[in-house]
Every structure is written in C-alpha cells, then in structure tokens.
A and B are shown apart, each in its own frame.
Chain A
Amino acid sequence: MGNRAEEDYNFVFKVVLIGESGVGKTNLLSRFTRNEFKQDSRTTIGVEFSTRTVTLGTAAIKAQIWDTAGLERYRAITSAYYRGAVGALLVFDLTKHQTYAVAERWLKELYDHAEATIVVMLVGNKSDLQQAREVPTEEARMFAENNGLLFLETSALDSTNVELAFQMVLKEILTKVSKQRQSSSRTNAITLGGAQAGQEQGPGEKRACCISL
C-alpha cells in the first residue's frame, strides 16, 4: 500500500490528543513534531494531523498524531478518529482545575470509541506556570494510577517532558505490539485489541495507520 514507498520506518502508530479546549494540545503536537511553540496558535477545527518518525531501540516508528478540537460540539466528528488509535494523550491544563475535573468524561468517551487496550497517558500541561497551579501533582498521579494510565507533567512552552511523554507512550505501544506479535503469528495488521479489532483490519483493507511492513 501507500507506505511501501517509504522504507524508513517499521511501524505506524496512530495516537490521538484529547482534552478540553485551550489546554495546549496543538502546542504539544507542534513541539513534538516540529519543535515549535506558538503563543497564540489558532483554534483547532475538527481534527488536524501531524507526523514524526522516532527510533526506539532498533525500531523506526512513525507516530501519526491526530490533534482533536476540544470543543464539545466537534465530538460527533472527532470521536470517529479514535477508531484504530493505539495511543492517546489525555491532556489537561494544570492551572485550570475544570480541565482536570472532566478527565473522567474524556476517558469514558475514549474507551467508547477506541480499543480497550489503547495506551493512555494523562498529561498535565503548562508546568511552566507553577505559581498558577490548581491541580496538585499527587492528585493527578493518583487518578492516573487508579485508572491504569501513564502520567507526566509537561510544558509545551519550555519543552519540559514533551519528548519524554510521546516516547513513553510509543514505547509502551511498541512493547504491547511486540508481545502480541510473538503470540499471534505473522499477522500484518498491528492492533492491540482482541479478535474484533483484528477482523476489522484484515489483510485486504489495512488502515494507513498501524501497519507493519
């Protein structure tokens, strides 16, 4: 398929960025994919897309990242893009408690549309604004632990932990994938789900994401 033209990666992982409007999803993405930060990036409309290839051990991984709009009205559209995602960053703004308080709702929506085995990281963004912090680190960490999520605090502005956050998620996905590959022999489609998801991505109709070459 289309990916055959490029030989420089072994995996494509689809990762979605979710969370309330204005928490910094777009800047996390631009920091990770282009090492850029815009003080006033424009609001994301619907879903926007970016990509970056990273090397983990011997594997080259193309992270295909879907940046979704946080606005409630768009969810009918954006939730369609959770399908096939193997990783998610659930982002909140640690200076606005309200954006953290709704994390549970986001999580539910994610699990409603994505596979249950999706790797999820809770991300408290804007750690550069310590004096305005409204969400204590420990509280968020507890929430993450109780829900089986990875957790990090980041700053897209000063770059703290941004690279690490994506790397951790991708590494976790890779680990799961490798295990799965050992157990389920020689299937081309990488999914973290069970039989249901496996059927969805039969060899004939692979998605652009999640394809091993």
Chain B
Amino acid sequence: MAAENSKQFWKRSAKLPGSIQPVYGAQHPPLDPRLTKNFIKERSKVNTVPLKNKKASSFHEFARNTSDAWDIGDDEEEDFSSPSFQTLNSKVALATAAQVLENHSKLRVKPERSQSTTSDVPASYKVIKSSSDAQLSRNSNELRKCSWPGVPREVRPVTWRLLSGYLPANTERRKLTLQRKREEYFGFIEQYYDSRNEEHHQDTYRQIHIDIPRTNPLIPLFQQPLVQEIFERILFIWAIRHPASGYVQGINDLVTPFFVVFLSEYVEEDVENFDVTNLSQDMLRSIEADSFWCMSKLLDGIQDNYTFAQPGIQKKVKALEELVSRIDEQVHNHFRRYEVEYLQFAFRWMNNLLMRELPLRCTIRLWDTYQSEPEGFSHFHLYVCAAFLIKWRKEILDEEDFQGLLMLLQNLPTIHWGNEEIGLLLAEAYRLKYMFADAPNHYRR
C-alpha cells in the first residue's frame, strides 16, 4: 500500500525530488523548536555514520527509502533551497537524491534523534508511514474530499486529528507535536485542576460535576468513573481557559464523539460497552489529551454559540427560519399558523449540533463531513439543520396543533438512523448550500 503510494507519487510528480513548494497550511502549529534545533545540530555533526540500507538498487526502492525526506526538506533543507535547485538537470537530481538518501539514512540510524517515543518504532515502519503521509500533506484538500462522504473506522482517529488541524500533516513533526501537546495538556491539569474547589471556580466545577453523569446516560461506557473523571478534567480545563463563555451545557456532549473515536483506536469490539480499565495509563492519557485539543479546535470555530446571550445561536436560528421560509413555504407557514417559533426547537439543534436529535454513531459520521467542509460546524451545519427539518415535512404537516408539533420536533424518530440516512441528509444540505452560495436571492419572493 505504502509502496504503491510512493510509486504513484513518483509517477505523478514531474517535479524533481526535494521540491520546495510550501505544504503546510497556516492552521498547523509552528515547527517545534526542539526538533529544528536537534535536527540541524545532528545533521551538521554526523557525516561519517555508515549507511545500513544502502541498497537503492531499484528506483522504487530508492523512492521508498527517501520519500519522507521531502517533508523535512520542505521546511529546513538548506541544501535544496539554493537557487541552483531551480535548474537541476537529471544528473544533478540523481546526485541530490543520493545525498538525501544519505542524509536520511543518517537520521534513521541516529538514536537520540528519534526521541523516546519513536525509538521503539522500526525504521522501515517510519519510512512507510511517512511516504503515505507525504501524500496526505501535499493533498490535504484531497483528504478533505475523501473524508467528506465518510471516513472508514480504522483511519478515523488519525484523519480526525489531521482534519481538525490538531495533528500536523508533516510526519516528522507528528510524534513530537502529539507528545508536546499531550504534555501541555497535562501541564494544565497539574497547574489548574486543583483550583476546581476554590471559590472562583467552584460553580463551574459543580455544574460540570452534575452534568457528566447526565451526558450519555444510556451508554455504559460513560457510566465508568474513570471516563467521567476524564470528561470532568477536559471540560474544567477548557472552561477556565475560555472565560468568555465558560462551561455551558451542550459543550459536554461535544467531547463525546472525539473520546469515542480516539478510544476506538485501541478497541476492536463494541466501543460503547468497552471497559476502559483494560487500557494502559498511557493510552488513556493520549485519548484524554487528544479529545481535549480536538474539542478545543472545534469550539474555536463556534465560540459565539456559548458566550453571553448566545449570539451565535440566535443568529443561526434566525438564518434557519429565513432559509426554511424560502425552501419550504408550506412548512414555514404551518409553523406560523400554529405559532411555533424556530427557537423553541432549533435552539437545541444549534447548541448541541444535532447531537440530541441523532444517535451517537450518526453524529460521528456527520462530523466526518463537518471536519471536511470549510466552516462545517459553524456554517454548513445550518444547511444540515434545514435539510433535517424538511426531512420531516410530512410528519410536520400532519400535526395540527402547537403541542403536537413541539412534541414531534423535540422527539424526532431517528433512533434507527445510520450512515445511509446521514448520507442523504448531507447530500441535501450540500445541494441547499450551493443553491444559496451561487444565488442568495434565488428563492426570495
């Protein structure tokens, strides 16, 4: 698989090895200074380390052995960034590639370079992984495109980390970034978590504490004390680091999909019934920290949903009303006739991103798309809500009084829903979005 990727890469990429085109989007964190420092130091030091795998007999093998070097080269490979690189002929290219191979092999045999976390990983594994990731980094748009229709379970954890912008596309940075971010999170815990019982934070903590058991009451996984403690820490740290909103009910739900997806990395069977005491401390810590950071990234985009008077939600509910009045006048008029206000049912749709209206598996599938779509959580969600509402138009039009309508809208029968229903919903939302992106006045009367 990885060999195939690198083959394709070499075939498709007419450019010579060591291309210096920028790869990393602004959303990725800056390069870890420790990596740069060590890397440069070590490279300048080591010149005579014997090569172990110096058998680049075939082109593809050569490619396989070197392809992850391009990641490094993109950022700090001075050798390639010289002006002469622009006019390389094939001889120079080969020479350069050989040099890359050499440099890279040195890197691989240098033990301190790969810090404690990577040292136990076989070199060949790293190379293989890197080559497919180089592909990803070059094609982050491609990744979004592939993820839009749903991500396979096995690659969902890494895909979500990438799509959320938490994990850098650069493989070389990943381990260090993850390690650094996880350390950073547990640094917060060490520094702030004890303050939960202090006067200025006790209201926040009390609220979180009473909400955790009520977050996913029907799923056994979330009734385990260890899991509830993890949720409490994540939510408390997020809340005190974001005083403009603080903790608001609904945010607790938003941790759930991340937690389940990152847990699924270690669990083959049914995640919802898994006993987390089977996992090592390290695994649990990784799941916790990754959930925290990914949830933070998500909330960065929708924070005005949770600040005072919740302006983001008010705005979106108004926008939903406007949209529905244009795409389905009959439903809209039906609501008006029976004095149903959109805020009465759609507040929760916005505040909890439809998580209260859908089974958890559907939310996870929905988030594959939200994370692939630009402004998925803050903007595309509106179209999904409109599509969701119209999906029930028949049931809505059948109800002929206020109480019946509200009871229906608060308890929409989605319990049996799966990927297929979500797929259809998303397709309809996409259609609506494009209709209005191209012609915002299209339906104006």
Contacts and interface: CB of A to CB of B under 8 A. Distances in A.
A binds B: yes
Interface string A1-32: 11101100000000000000110000000000
A71 B249 contact: yes
Contacts of B196: none
A3 B250 CA distance: 34
A208 B338 contact: yes
A36 interface: no
B252 interface: yes
B248 A73 contact: yes
A116 interface: no
B343 A77 contact: yes
Chain B interface residue number, banded: 35 or more
Contacts of A49: 344, 403, 406-407, 410
A137 interface: no
Interface string B302-341: 0000101110010000000000000000000000011100
A38 B217 CA distance: 9
B338 A47 contact: no
A40 interface: yes
Contacts of A126: none
A92 to B, nearest CB: 14
Contact of B207 (A45, A51, A71): A71
B348 interface: yes
A207 interface: yes
A46 interface: yes
A39 to B, nearest CB: 8
Contact of B403 (A1, A51, A76): A51
A92 B15 CA distance: 71
B356 A42 contact: yes
A171 to B, nearest CB: 21
Q: Which of A40, A73, A76, A77 has the most CB of B within 10 A?
A: A73
Contacts of B215: 42-43
Contacts of A80: 343
A41 B401 contact: no
Interface in A41-82: 41-51, 62, 64, 69, 71, 73-74, 76-77, 80
Interface residues of A, number: 32
Contacts of B344: 47, 49
B347 interface: yes
A208 B308 contact: no
B211 interface: yes
Nearest to A39: B217
A5 B401 contact: yes
A3 B351 contact: no
A51 B210 CA distance: 27
Nearest to B309: A76
Contact of A48 (B337, B343, B410): B410
Contact of B214 (A5, A40, A47, A207): A40
19 contacts: A2-B339, A3-B401, A21-B210, A41-B217, A43-B249, A43-B252, A45-B348, A45-B352, A46-B351, A49-B406, A64-B402, A69-B249, A73-B245, A73-B246, A73-B248, A73-B249, A76-B308, A77-B347, A80-B343
Interface of B: 207, 210-211, 213-215, 217, 245-246, 248-250, 252, 306, 308-310, 313, 337-339, 343-344, 347-348, 351-352, 356, 400-403, 406-407, 410
Closest 5 CB pairs of A and B: A40-B217, A208-B402, A46-B347, A2-B401, A76-B309
Given A73-B246, A73-B310, 9 more contacts: A40-B213, A42-B214, A43-B215, A45-B348, A45-B351, A45-B352, A71-B249, A73-B245, A207-B339
